Structure 1
Amino acid sequence: MSPKDAELLNGLALAYMGDAVYERFIRERLLTKGQTKPNQLHRLATKYVSAKAQAWLMDEMMTEEVLTETELNYFKRGRNAKSYTKAKNTDGPTYNKSSGFEAVIGYLYLTEQSERVAAVMQYCAEKIEQRQQNDQ
């Protein structure tokens, strides 16, 4: 998809795609690390893909200035999009920020920026893993 075509998609459509791409990346990462028990896989994956984790990752990326100006614009589109579903396990602002995170991933994936999407997801996975080590 061209960047022009991606511009035509709303933030929630981008987030829809980004959610799937990021979830798949995390599932593959956990399996590659030797995790194979279904209950454990789900529990571990949640630490990476929950709205709270994604909102925290956005804060980290903004603090460390990881994202480009274009990526920040897509984050804002996803964050500010009007969702008609309620967040299950978090507050509205956290849910909105996580939607912005997913919109960035969706935009990068749909515009076939494979190296960049891989780099951003790798950064995110490593940040979560560092956080888990620090919490132990």
Structure 2
Amino acid sequence: MEQSLIQKIKEGLYLDGLDPKSYSPLSLAYIGDAIYEIVIRTIVMSAGNMSVNKYHKKSSSMVKASAQKEVFEKIEPFLTEEEMAVYKRGRNSKSGSVAKNASMMDYRKATGVEALVGYLYLAGDMDRIIELIGIGFDLNKKEETGEEHES
């Protein structure tokens, strides 16, 4: 079985700890934001070569709070009880920052999504992160040929 990214980082850099259950929801959202961004940038780059400015504009539109809220609405029916609990802990956390260019509800839902991504990342479940983001952006649908979209 292939190692997850977090396993490779932990082993390669001799890091201990990083149990997802030991971190606050905002700590999970902190790392989840970075992982979510990497996945989104990878999706954007898959469209082909373009200017960095175009990459930035496209990825920014996909990571903003309102877009993450829409992702949550699509993935919600697919979440396990444990995943939903992590999402709710993130959504209900009181962060010291205020939403820029987003409603407070969208911002809180985005924080919940990021906390869930952070939790799954630290748990070593990149496959689940990719599956959920794929559902959120309709990338997991079968093509008209009947074949699954490869990640």
TM-score by length of 2: 0.75
Shift of 1:35: 4.0
Distance in 2 of aligned mates of 1:35 and 1:76:
38
CA contact (8 A) 2:86 2:116 kept: yes
Of Structure 1 and Structure 2, which has the larger fraction of its residues in helix? 1
Shift of 1:27: 0.8
Alpha carbon RMSD of aligned pairs, Å? 1.7
Which residue, 58, 62, 87 being the options, matches 2:99?
87
Which residue, 56, 71, 86 being the options, matches 1:74?
86
Who is 2:131 aligned against? 119
Which residue, 108, 119, 125 being the options, matches 2:120?
108
CA contact (8 A) 1:26 1:125 kept: no
Distance in 1 of aligned mates of 2:120 and 2:127:
9
Q: How many residues align?
A: 123
Which residue, 49, 52, 58 being the options, matches 1:38?
52
CA contact (8 A) 2:19 2:122 kept: no
Identity of aligned residues (%): 36
CA contact (8 A) 1:21 1:106 kept: yes
TM-score by length of 1: 0.83
**Bigger-Rg structure (1/2):** 2
Which segment is superposed worse, 31-40 or 11-20? Answer: 31-40
Shift of 1:118: 1.7
Runs of 4+, deviation exceeding 6 Å:
none
Choose between structure 1 and 2 for higher RCO, CA contacts under 8 A separated by at least 6 residues: 1
Residue 108 of structure 1 aligns to a residue whose secondary structure is helix
Residue 33 of structure 1 aligns to a residue whose secondary structure is coil
Residue 22 of structure 1 aligns to a residue whose secondary structure is helix
Shift of 1:41: 0.9
